[in-house]
A = this chain, B = another copy of it.
Amino acid sequence: MAPVAADCPLCREDGGLLLARHGQFRVIRATGPDAEHFPGFYRVVWNAHVAEWSDLSEADQALCMRAVSAVERVVRQHLRPTKVNLAALGNVVPHLHWHVVARYDWDSHFPAPVWAAAQRGPDGARLAAVRAALPACDAAIAALRF
């Protein structure tokens, strides 16, 4: 049985739009406030309640990182970002999850991280173009075989 923490939102819920479910992890697309200015915001969430990356065995790290890398490749192919940002922070929700975020040189925060202060206002037309590409990107992630 995977460890579960009663008060952990990532133990209770998928954490976003569920695209792929593996025995040990799932892939979601963020749908809350995070996605407003960063539509191509995906997460690989480890199913077990594990806080730190180095708590995983090397085999589990390899499995998880294959998923992160596969999601990144699909994001690059379908969303054509300037850069992909990867992060496992977990200060608020200490349940291992990798952020995989498509960044664009025109986005509201670039080149700062998505968690920093905005550098400029959102570009509605370009954001809409990214959003239009999400269904195909989501479908390609859902079709991944890990």
Q: Which residues of A contact B (CB under 8 A)?
A: 51-54, 58, 61-62, 65-66, 68-70, 72-73, 76, 82-92, 94, 103, 110-113, 115-117
Q: Tell me which of B54, B69, B82, B112 contacts A69 (CB under 8 A).
A: B54
- The quantity of this chain's copies bound in the complex is 2
Closest 4 CB pairs of A and B: A91-B111, A87-B87, A113-B115, A54-B72
Contact of A88 with B91 at beta-carbon distance under 8 Å, contacts A66-B58, A69-B54, A112-B115 already known: no
B residues less than 8 Å from A83 (CB atoms): 51-52, 89-91, 94
Question: Can you list 23 A-B contacts (CB < 8 A)?
Answer: A51-B83, A52-B72, A52-B84, A53-B68, A54-B69, A54-B70, A58-B66, A58-B69, A61-B65, A62-B65, A83-B89, A83-B91, A86-B89, A87-B88, A87-B89, A91-B103, A91-B110, A91-B111, A91-B113, A112-B115, A115-B116, A116-B116, A117-B117
A89 to chain B, nearest CB (A): 5
A interface secondary structure, majority: mixed
A55 and B61 alpha carbons, distance in the complex (Å): 18
A51 and B87 alpha carbons, distance in the complex (Å): 15
